């Protein structure tokens, strides 16, 4: 008698069932991370594109505080977070005793720290995807091994090598293997995709930080080599 996939899953043993449930939970978690990261990265890209023209306009007009205020409207933009931190630090260093070198160094430190914190924040959840992608096949393999053991146990108990004696164990082995791959493959693909986006965003933050430093160096009439 032919059995449907749902019937085969319903007839799984305790260990194979536990493996499938574990993989399903990992799948749900990885999908939630994928959706959350996709929304976050999409918002970061969109807001950064909108922020840059407004920021450039404010800087050309010498309105530094306005540039900081504009960045607050784009709180999901990675570029806005880094640039506003550098500009705000420059404003904080104003004073009769502040030297050009000290102000530029303070801006650099602020840009580096904010860039590192923003990069770490945007990487949230990606390590989990990598872990699921690398471990899910082995969790499925564990169920596979148990299924094979059950198949040979059934063969030993019946004293027969027929298909009926081993079919249940083989079914468990194949189902857990399939579930392990089904969970791992999307997780690995998503991890690689988001990692490439994260690296691109890091480059954008680094370039933006360098441009902010260059802007203040020119503003102070100092060349990069002398700063």
Residue spans per domain, the chain: 5-219
CB atoms within 10 A of CB 178: 16
Are 77 and 62 in contact, with CB atoms under 8 Å apart?
no
Q: In the structure encoding, which two tokens stand for residue 38, read together? A: 């996709």
Instruction: Provide the pLDDT for residue 1.
Output: 41
227 CB-near residues (< 8 Å, 6+ apart): 100, 101, 104, 213, 217
Would you say residue 142 has pLDDT above 60?
Answer: yes
110 CB-near residues (< 8 Å, 6+ apart): 85, 86, 88, 89
Are 197 and 190 in contact, with CB atoms under 8 Å apart?
no
Backbone angle region of 85, left / alpha / beta, with phi > 0 → left and psi within -120 to 50 → alpha: alpha
The predicted model gives 23-46 an average pLDDT of 94
Would you say residue 152 has pLDDT above 50?
Answer: yes
Instruction: Provide the pLDDT for residue 7.
Output: 54
Higher-confidence position of 172 and 3:
172
Instruction: Provide the pLDDT for residue 100.
Output: 73
Would you say residue 10 has pLDDT above 70?
Answer: no
178 CB-near residues (< 8 Å, 6+ apart): 140
* DSSP secondary structure of 115-143: HHHHHHHHTTTHHHHHHHHHHHHHHHHHH
Q: In the structure encoding, which two tokens stand for residue 80, read together? A: 């806005």
The residue written with tokens 């094979």 in the block is 148
Q: In the structure encoding, which two tokens stand for residue 132, read together? A: 């699921």
Exposed/middle/buried for 193, CB within 10 Å: 0-12, 13-18, 19+?
Answer: middle
Instruction: Provide the pLDDT for residue 97.
Output: 60
* Rounded Cα distance, 89 and 117, in Å: 16
pLDDT digits (tens, 9 = 90+) for 45-61: 999 999 988 888 888 88
Higher-confidence position of 225 and 67:
67
Exposed/middle/buried for 31, CB within 10 Å: 0-12, 13-18, 19+?
Answer: middle
* Rounded Cα distance, 70 and 134, in Å: 42
Residue 17 — pLDDT band, cuts 50, 70, 90? confident
* Rounded Cα distance, 199 and 204, in Å: 9
Mean pLDDT, the chain, integer: 83
Nearest-10 Cα torsion for 116, 119, 124, 128: -100
Percentage of the chain beyond pLDDT 70 is 81
Instruction: Provide the pLDDT for residue 30.
Output: 95
């Amino acid at each position: 008698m032919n059995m449907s996939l749902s019937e085969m899953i319903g007839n799984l043993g305790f260990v194979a069932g536990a493996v499938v449930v574990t993989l399903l939970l990992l799948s749900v978690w990885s999908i939630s991370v994928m959706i959350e990261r996709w929304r976050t990265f999409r918002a970061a890209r969109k807001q950064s594109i909108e922020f840059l023209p407004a920021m450039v306009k404010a800087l050309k007009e010498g309105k530094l505080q306005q540039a900081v205020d504009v960045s607050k409207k784009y709180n999901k933009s990675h570029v806005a977070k880094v640039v506003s931190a550098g500009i705000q630090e420059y404003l904080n260093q104003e004073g009769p005793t502040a030297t050009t070198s000290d102000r530029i160094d303070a801006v650099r430190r602020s840009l580096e720290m904010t860039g590192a914190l923003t990069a770490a924040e945007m990487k949230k959840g990606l390590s989990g995807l990598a872990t699921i992608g690398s471990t899910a096949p082995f969790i499925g393999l564990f169920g596979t091994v148990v299924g094979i053991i059950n198949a040979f146990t059934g063969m030993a108990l019946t004293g027969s090598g027929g298909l009926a004696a081993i079919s249940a164990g083989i079914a468990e082995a194949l189902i857990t293997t399939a579930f392990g791959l089904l969970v791992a493959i999307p997780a690995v693909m998503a991890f690689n995709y988001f990692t490439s986006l994260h690296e691109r965003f890091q480059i954008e933050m680094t370039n933006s930080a360098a441009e902010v430093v260059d802007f203040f160096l020119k503003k102070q009439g100092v060349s990069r080599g002398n700063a």
